[in-house]
Structure 1
Amino acid sequence: MAKIGVEQSLTDVQQELQAKGYDVVPLKQEQDAAGCDCCVITGQDQNMMGIQDAVTQGSVINAHGLTAQEICQQIEQRVNQ
């Protein structure tokens, strides 16, 4: 199953993904995203300084305004492409 990085504050998303069988990795530092097929972020501190250093080749989903179910749907679409 795919490895998904999720920011720590998104516990509902972590639980939903684990229930679906995904390997969920908490994103504590940028390096944690390495090797993830997809990452879910809150978007609160997204690109604050205008620097865009790619740490992962996987998709990044901004969870702002989305439910846990909507986020899971987006992950399933991106991982199953």
Structure 2
Amino acid sequence: MARVGIEGSLSDIKAALQEKGYDIVDLRQEEDAKGVDCCVISGQDKNVMGIATTSTQGSVINAEGLTAEEVTQEVESRLQ
């Protein structure tokens, strides 16, 4: 099953993805994003200056304003 990186504050989304059988990786540091197929972020730490470096080749999903079910659907659609 796919590996999904999740920010620590998104425990409801983490639980929903684990129920679906995804391998969950806690994103605590930038290095944690390496090797995941998809990342889910809270959107709280937005890039104000418009400069971004990425540590993953996978999709990044901003969960701000979305339910756990909506995020799960988004993860599934991006990984297929």
How does the TM-score come out when normalised to structure 1? Answer: 0.94
3-state SS of paired residue (1:16): helix
Unaligned runs of 5+ in 1: none
Are positions 1:47 and 2:47 aligned together?
Answer: yes
Question: Quick check: 1:68 aligned with 2:73?
Answer: no
CA drift of 1:47 comes to 1.5
Query: Any unmatched runs of 5+ in structure 2?
Result: none
Q: Which residue matches 1:31?
A: 31
How many residues are aligned here? 80
Amino acid at match of 1:78: R
Over the matched positions of the two proteins, sequence identity in percent amounts to 60
Which aligned segments of 4 or more residues in structure 1 are displaced greater than 2 angstroms? 48-51
Q: What is the SS of the residue equivalent to 2:26?
A: strand
Q: CA RMSD in A?
A: 0.8
